[in-house]
Amino acid sequence: MANAINDEVIPRAQKGEPEALRVIYEELAGRVLGYLKVRGVDDPESACQEVFLALFSRLQTLQGGVSGLRALTYSIAHARQVDFHRQRAAAPRHLELLDSDAPMEPSAQDLVLSQHLSPTVARALASLPDVQRECLILRTVVGLSIQETASALGKSEGSVKQLQRRALESMKAALKSPEEVSRDE
């Protein structure tokens, strides 16, 4: 890619050069938007813009070059989606009593997952504990390194490796066909 972020772009962006800021935005915005959609944020486009506003205001304190930039970006995106879910949980709800326990409508995360994943994979992913699912999404969907994922989640690199390993083992077990399960027994 001609516009890929490199160590020369970051100092220019820290000086506020519009072209450097554009390169950073164009390189990262699509993945940030995808991350926010998968995490179930109702208005991911708006949240993505908030992420970049916060990122650009914090560029002066950025350390770690390109890796530090990516980690900071997803750390901010993670914080935005956590804030969204906290606000949603705290908001008063007016629900009608229904005879069934079925949700009234699918969540945004369920809609995105159903469009991009098979139902079996979506169920397996949904069955993971939140921190394992978050780790797996950051590593596989977003494409962050172990170091960047650790920074975004506020965990050690060893912890991220364990979370990813456990998540993949759980996914593998959940995705085994009935024939494979009977062969293993």
pLDDT (tens, 9 = 90+) of the chain, 185 residues, equals 345 788 899 999 999 999 999 999 999 999 999 989 888 888 899 999 999 999 999 999 998 899 999 999 999 999 998 888 888 777 666 555 555 555 556 655 556 555 656 777 778 888 889 899 888 888 887 888 999 899 888 899 999 999 999 999 998 888 876 555 445 55
41 and 85 fall within a common domain: yes
Specify if 99 maps to a domain. no
Domain count, the chain: 2
Does residue 61 form part of some domain? yes
The CATH number assigned to the domain holding 85 equals 1.10.1740.10
CA distance 152 to 55: 13
d(CA 42, CA 62): 29
User: Residues 6 or more apart from 75 whose CB is under 8 A from it?
Assistant: 151, 152, 154
Domain residue limits at 151: 117-178
Question: Is the separation of the CB atoms in 57 and 22 below 8 Å?
Answer: no
Domain's final residue, options 72, 97, 115: 115
Is 166 part of a structural domain of the chain? Answer: yes
